[in-house]
């Protein structure tokens, strides 16, 4: 019987790790990827998400192999891009960026593109891209100022975290909630199971533990 493949998560995001843990998956290795996330000239949001997810997987695989471990591991990566039309919103690092994002999103619809990539030991790439449509309520100046003060927006695509306070801003969501958080769970399970990762075996282990 073939040995159980190891899994590398190409991210330092606690959100993505928590989502994997939610479905019974604990990666053997966390290898944050080093990639330039600047959009290319004229690059569309969905293309950016797919490209960055692929590049993160390749970066993490290279780092792992250079360090001499996980030669035969699957690499899982993801990237999330928030956009209004063709305009790509930044992963807000300053209060000014976050404020601009929130004012733009206030009272209107936007799209969240999340791409997930699985890179095999033989360098085959499997990818799924999920598009989710979200509509925000109209935000008052007080709400924006209070949200900025929370600092929850820092490092988040579009300047907000739907799993936190900003969940109260959402009037409508069509698509995958987990994808907006950072990893589409249905697609992730499909990709991993398709490459021989024992997702369901892990579920059986969880069931056994819960019965003890």
| pLDDT for residue 156 | 95
Q: CA-based diameter of the chain, in Å? A: 61
| pLDDT for residue 209 | 52
CATH of domain 7-210: 3.90.950.10
| pLDDT for residue 200 | 78
CA angle in degrees (0–180, nearest 5) for 195-111-94: 100
Tens-digit pLDDT profile for residues 101-138? 999 999 999 999 999 999 999 999 999 999 999 999 99
Indicate the domain borders of the chain: 7-210
Residues 6+ apart with CB under 8 A from 66: none
- Which has the minimum average pLDDT: 19-23, 147-151, 186-190, 205-209? 205-209
| Average pLDDT value for residue range 78-100 | 96
Residues 6+ apart with CB under 8 A from 12: 30, 32
Residue entry with tokens 């900025």: 148
Q: What is the rounded distance in angstroms from the CA atom of residue 206 to the CA atom of residue 212?
A: 10
Tens-digit pLDDT profile for residues 157-210? 999 999 999 999 999 999 999 999 999 999 999 999 999 998 877 677 665 655
| pLDDT for residue 1 | 38
Q: What is the pTM of this model?
A: 0.92
By annotation, the residues acting in catalysis are 79
DSSP string for residues in 149-182: HHTTTTT-BTT--TTTGGGGGEEEEES-HHHHHT
Query: Do residues 115 and 125 make contact, with C-beta atoms less than 8 angstroms apart?
Result: no
The β-bridge relationship of strands 74-84 and 109-119 is: antiparallel
Q: Residue 46 corresponds to which tokens in the numbers above?
A: 């969905």
Q: At what angle do helices 199-210 and 185-194 cross, to 10 degrees?
A: 110
């Amino acid at each position: 019987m073939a040995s159980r493949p190891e899994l590398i998560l190409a991210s330092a995001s606690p959100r993505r790790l928590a989502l994997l843990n939610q479905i019974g998956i604990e990666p053997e290795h966390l290898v944050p990827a080093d990639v330039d996330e600047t959009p290319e000239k004229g690059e569309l949001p969905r293309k950016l998400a797919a490209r960055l997810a692929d590049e993160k997987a390749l970066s993490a695989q290279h780092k792992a192999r250079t360090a001499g471990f996980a030669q035969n591991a699957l690499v899982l990566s993801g990237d999330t891009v928030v956009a209004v039309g063709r305009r790509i919103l930044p992963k807000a690092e300053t209060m000014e960026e976050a404020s601009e994002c929130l004012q733009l999103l206030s009272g209107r619809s936007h799209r969240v593109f999340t791409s997930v990539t699985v890179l095999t030991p033989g360098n085959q790439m499997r990818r799924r891209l999920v598009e989710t449509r979200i509509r925000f309520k109209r935000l008052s100046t007080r709400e924006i100022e209070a949200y900025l003060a929370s600092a929850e927006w820092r490092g988040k695509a579009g300047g907000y975290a739907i799993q936190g306070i900003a969940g109260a801003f959402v009037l409508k969501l069509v698509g995958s909630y987990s994808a907006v958080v950072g990893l589409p769970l249905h697609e992730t399970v499909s990709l991993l199971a398709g490459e021989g990762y024992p997702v369901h075996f892990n579920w059986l282990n969880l069931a056994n533990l819960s019965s003890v």
